[in-house]
Amino acid sequence: MKYQIKDYLRHHGFVGQTITVQAWVRTKRESKSVSFIALNDGSTLNNLQAVVDAGVVAEDILKLVTTGSCIAATGELIESQGTGQSVELKVTALEVYGTADPDAYPLQPKRHSLEFLREIAHLRPRTNTFSAIFRVRHTLGYAVHKYFNDNGFFYWNSPIITGSDAEGAGEMFRVTTLDPKNPPLKEDGSVDYKEDFFARETNLTVSGQLEGELAALALGKIYTFGPTFRAENSNTTRHLAEFWMIEPEMAFFDLIDNMDLAEDFVKYVIRYAVENCGDDLAFLEKRLLEEEKNKPQNERSPMPLLEKLQFVLDNDFERVTYTQAIEVLLQSKPHKEKKFQYPVEWGIDLQSEHERYLVEKHFKKPVILTHYPRAIKAFYMKEETEQVNEKGPTVRAMDVLFPGIGEIIGGSQREDNLDKLVARMKEVGIEPESMDWFLDTRRFGSAPHSGFGLGFERLILFVTGMGNIRDVIPFPRFPKSAEF
């Protein structure tokens, strides 16, 4: 097994041994008699300091050791002489794998703006901030699989290319191999997709839920964790055109079971990150404090990052019905002072300003909103019959709202009654025949079931304290941009 800097820094047993470290150079400081090279191999935020005494390495080799270059340094690992690190490498031999011309390499040791780094997204994982973010992203992804595996869920892969266009979660990207300049046409002049690769219209999936439901009604408890695509023209800090979604779907779960699972699951993965990404999160907390230093008090985060995460772990999510939330909003100061941009009344689709008021100003913790009006939710959500609302029918929907983010999870108990589901589809203009395969779940051995979708990048935003969703995915896709 090859060791990495993370191992050398953690285990004192390496002290006194001769080792070879292969890593990228973050900085080099030189004095007359000695050079200090900060080495980072990506395994940890922390650098290993290599110390090169004058004369040990030829001048012309040492000259090539500049920020961004990659080297192999061999020597004895010793207890550190200086402060700030526990061990350091006393170099006896040094090989340069790859140079990085200081005049051309953009990541010189100074502060770069996130906007600039987004333009060089192919290099930004080499910075402290982005390597920390992507290590946290990995850890959260691992925790997702671990949680579900440990709790009896099966990992299920819904198709990426779908023939279903009725899900309605968002605008879709068409998948086609037809020649855009000269597509085959039908007699009425429209494109003849019978001639296309799949002999039908196909799109990139906006959600793996419908196929996930099929699986839940066979395997009991499943989850998907895959890419989803929405051609929504929303240039926000919370939307991507390509994002990763986690969608558990469970037979025999009602809305309460669904909420319990969502809360337990989200807390588990956050706790896992807190316990396993201490250095990275502490660094990101410092970064955020630094970034917010110049902001007015009311735009700063109310708590430092780690305290915020601990607060979420220590407190129950507030469970509130949509109708109660509307009441709160109607009584709120911004409503009375006409500060909300969008009007508040029962039946509206809550805008992000409303969600943020509820979470950040009123309840001051994560909120699960349930029982939305049927009219503003998807056709597959189960109508509530026990908790009748005089304002109009509601569905057993649940959205989880997080401070600073807004909606992080959307879910519901699903309509499991065939006739009701078909009636609802017709009402909203979906041909039941076009989704016959989906309706078979309700035709044969239907069962109460529930599920939800968690946007992975929104979770990462919350855990890392970053402000823009484009900074928590390696290569963000958004309107007018698909670089790299």
Write out the residues near ligand ATP by the rule CB under 6 A.
Answer: 169, 230, 232, 238-240, 243, 245, 407-410, 453-455, 457-458
Q: Which of 406, 247, 421, 391 is nearest to 322 (CA)?
A: 391
- Residue carrying the six token digits 């895959």: 226
Is there a contact between 228 and 162 (Cβ–Cβ < 8 Å)? no
Q: Least CB distance from residue 472 to ligand ATP, whole Å?
A: 10
| Residue 419 burial (C-beta neighbours within 10 Å; 0-12, 13-18, 19+) | exposed
Q: Identify which of residues 373 and 410 has a Cβ nearer to ligand ATP in the complex.
A: 410
Q: Identify which of residues 42 and 170 has a Cβ nearer to ligand ATP in the complex.
A: 170
Q: Identify which of residues 262 and 425 has a Cβ nearer to ligand ATP in the complex.
A: 262
Q: Least CB distance from residue 455 to ligand ATP, whole Å?
A: 2
- Residue carrying the six token digits 């023209």: 233
Q: Identify which of residues 215 and 241 has a Cβ nearer to ligand ATP in the complex.
A: 241
Q: Least CB distance from residue 353 to ligand ATP, whole Å?
A: 13
Kind and range of the H or E run holding 267: helix 255-276
Q: Identify which of residues 153 and 462 has a Cβ nearer to ligand ATP in the complex.
A: 462
Q: Least CB distance from residue 243 to ligand ATP, whole Å?
A: 4
Q: Least CB distance from residue 93 to ligand ATP, whole Å?
A: 48
Q: Which residues contact 24 (CB under 8 A, 6 or more apart)?
A: 39, 40, 41, 42, 68, 69, 70, 71, 126
Is there a contact between 361 and 298 (Cβ–Cβ < 8 Å)? no
Q: Least CB distance from residue 346 to ligand ATP, whole Å?
A: 19
The alpha carbon dihedral of 143, 144, 149, 151 has a sign of: positive
Q: Which residues contact 70 (CB under 8 A, 6 or more apart)?
A: 22, 23, 24, 25, 96, 97, 98, 100
- Residue carrying the six token digits 């993370």: 6
Q: Identify which of residues 170 and 183 has a Cβ nearer to ligand ATP in the complex.
A: 170
Q: Identify which of residues 360 and 407 has a Cβ nearer to ligand ATP in the complex.
A: 407
Q: Identify which of residues 230 and 356 has a Cβ nearer to ligand ATP in the complex.
A: 230
Q: Least CB distance from residue 240 to ligand ATP, whole Å?
A: 4
Alpha-carbon gap, residue 402 to 377, rounded angstroms: 20
Q: Least CB distance from residue 98 to ligand ATP, whole Å?
A: 36
Alpha-carbon gap, residue 101 to 121, rounded angstroms: 19
Q: Identify which of residues 37 and 240 has a Cβ nearer to ligand ATP in the complex.
A: 240
Q: Least CB distance from residue 458 to ligand ATP, whole Å?
A: 4
Alpha-carbon gap, residue 231 to 381, rounded angstroms: 23
Q: Identify which of residues 21 and 409 has a Cβ nearer to ligand ATP in the complex.
A: 409
Cα distances (angstroms) measured from residue 462 to each of 234, 269, 308, 456: 20, 12, 9, 10
Is there a contact between 96 and 69 (Cβ–Cβ < 8 Å)? yes
Alpha-carbon gap, residue 400 to 406, rounded angstroms: 8
Q: Least CB distance from residue 474 to ligand ATP, whole Å?
A: 14
Give the up-direction half-sphere exposure of residue 121: CA atoms within 13 A in the CB hemisphere. 16
